[in-house]
Structure 1
Amino acid sequence: MISLTFVVWVYMYIRRLSYIMTHHVDYAKLGKSSALVELMPEEVSYPSDNLKNLFELPVLFYVISVMAIQSGLVDEVLSIAAWAYVCLRGIHSLIHCTVNNVHLRFTFYIFSSLVLWFMVVHVAVVMLSAPLL
């Protein structure tokens, strides 16, 4: 997930800077983030929108992953679910940053969200069933 976030961040700047340079956008007009939205075509903002999205539910992924690792609760089920989540979010980001087909993007978003909530429940069940020390 960290690698995905980095790739989207780099792609966002590639898209923005290439637009600014090829269209000779006046830097003075870019003082506010809303100016970017007004001055650039919608598709140039797709990666930026996706980057913001990567700091919403994925934060829960980081927390549940660290909790599970620190508590020694990582099992095969959680590992498979975590990789499924990362792959689904990767596909979601690819769609969001390029064609931005909302129906297709939402499909991957909802499946990744269901996997994430499964991970939360799985860790909770494993924690509650673990013997107290």
Structure 2
Amino acid sequence: MILVEKLLVLAVALQAFLAISLILWLGLERVPRVMRGEIRVADIAVDRSAYPLKARLLSNSVDNQFQLPILFFVGAVLLLQADLADWFSVILAFLFVALRYVHAAIHVTTNRVYRRFVIYTAGLAVLSLFWLWLVLRILLLPSA
């Protein structure tokens, strides 16, 4: 595996690590409250509103890791499978992942919606460019 492929895999791993970390943090926020009886299971069976704000923010951030990042994962796998990873795609991948970390940090701290929206939109723009680059590379490949 060449360096750009390894770096693309690293970007994917960092995005996966973000999602896993948020899921674990959410568990640490939710489970003890239920175990201590602060929150009844019946109150959370179908609705998250019984959880305190911090748990709801974490939950929303976790949900968000299964939106745009899924498109990133698929694109990265396609790049790797087609042996098309290059420096530009790696730069876009790391920029996307960095924006996801900033987005998650805003989500679980200040939750300033306008700032979060700007970062989300920037991530969407980078992801769109990532996919455009992927599709152009595939379409411009000489046919065998």
Q: Return the TM-score normalized by structure 1.
A: 0.89
Q: Structure 1: where are the runs of 5+ without partners?
A: none
Q: CA deviation at 1:41?
A: 2.6
Please, which of 104, 114, 121 is the counterpart of residue 93 of structure 1?
104
1:17 matched to which residue of 2?
A: 31
Between stretches 12-21 and 69-78, larger displacement belongs to 12-21
1:43 matched to which residue of 2?
A: 54
Alpha-carbon distance in 2 for matches of 1:11, 1:53: 15
Looking at secondary structure, tell me which structure has more helix per residue.
Answer: 1
1:79 matched to which residue of 2?
A: 90
Task: State yes or no: 1:33 paired with 2:37.
Answer: no
Task: Tell me which stretches of 4 or more aligned residues in structure 1 moved more than 6 Å.
Answer: none
CA RMSD of superposed structures (Å)? 1.6
C-alpha offsets along residues 14-35 of structure 1, whole Å, 9 cap, x if unaligned?
22234445672233433x130x
Task: State yes or no: 1:125 paired with 2:125.
Answer: no
Alpha-carbon distance in 2 for matches of 1:22, 1:68: 47
Count of residue correspondences: 130
Give the fraction of aligned pairs with identical amino acids, expressed as a percent.
27
Q: CA deviation at 1:44?
A: 2.1
Contact persistence 2:18–2:101 (CA under 8 A): yes
